[in-house]
Amino acid sequence: MAPPISGNFVLDISGQEQVEPLTDQGPAISLDMKGVGLATADGSGNLGGSATLTFLFPAAPGTSGPSNGLATAAVSCGGTLAGTVTEPGNGTAQIQLQFTPPPTTAIPTDLGVQDGCVPTAFTLSCVEIYPEGNAYPLLASGGTSPSATAEPTTVPTPTPKRRRRHRAYESVVSDEPSPPVYLSSANRLKCVATGTSSAAVSITGALISADLQQTAPANVSVPPPVTVPPPVTSPMPGSYPTPTIPVLPQAPPGTNG
């Protein structure tokens, strides 16, 4: 199995929701949603972080105004993220993510975009993407993951010869896949919401996608600068000192030494 995801992931989430207060009997409000945040995985299946979600009314076709006749408006609300991630080891992941805005957020009224700023639980079904660039990692032996489609392995089994009759070899299909060996954990997850719920409003419909991209480590060690010694200079031609030649004493003429 692959190592569990860990580190910081940038969250990008967007889509549409249909919401209405729990006590309201009228039609649900359709809201566009987009948001960004930062989620941290601890490597043990737990997630935490924060996000800011923005809700606005979708525009009516061919106009710049909302389709429900209400004033064009948008509201952003920040909140905390908490949840868990389950990785079965086949290149997929299931994420349970809870978004909780501050308690001072306005109460839903079925009249404005603030109806989206409520505690919301998302169930995300994800495909993991690995640093090698594959949705499923390569095996350390150089083959592909059993999740990918591959031709079955055939083992020839000879059949005893009979009188002047030769039968072709039969093939036995081996359906035992090699155990996968993952090189690293996923650094990106592409997800769709398979469930969206809230205790504050009734979410009657949702179409939401999310993308989690791992960020670079925050602590990057910078090596100290290398001190380069100055180059050794040699004297230029012609700059050497003139050597001194000693003068030996000479005997006076006519004397034999």
State the CATH number of the domain containing residue 110.
2.40.160
Strand partners, 164: none
Nearest in space to 196 (alpha carbons), one of 127, 128, 113, 116? 116
Tell whether 244 is covered by a domain: no
- Is residue 227 very low, low, confident or very high in pLDDT (cuts 50, 70, 90)? confident
Q: What is the residue-averaged pLDDT of the chain?
A: 75
What pLDDT does 89 receive?
A: 86
Identify the weakest region by mean pLDDT among 20-34, 80-94, 112-126, 169-183. Answer: 169-183
Counting the structural domains of the chain, the total is 1
Tell whether 187 is covered by a domain: yes
Tell whether 226 is covered by a domain: no
Tell whether 148 is covered by a domain: no
**pTM for the complete prediction?**
0.63
pLDDT over 60 (residue 8):
yes
pLDDT over 60 (residue 170):
no
pLDDT over 90 (residue 173):
no
- Is residue 12 very low, low, confident or very high in pLDDT (cuts 50, 70, 90)? very high
Tell whether 190 is covered by a domain: yes
Tell whether 254 is covered by a domain: no
pLDDT over 60 (residue 110):
no
- The mean pLDDT of 213-234, rounded to a whole number, is 72
Tell whether 174 is covered by a domain: yes
Tell whether 219 is covered by a domain: no
Residue 192 domain boundaries: 6-59+74-137+157-214
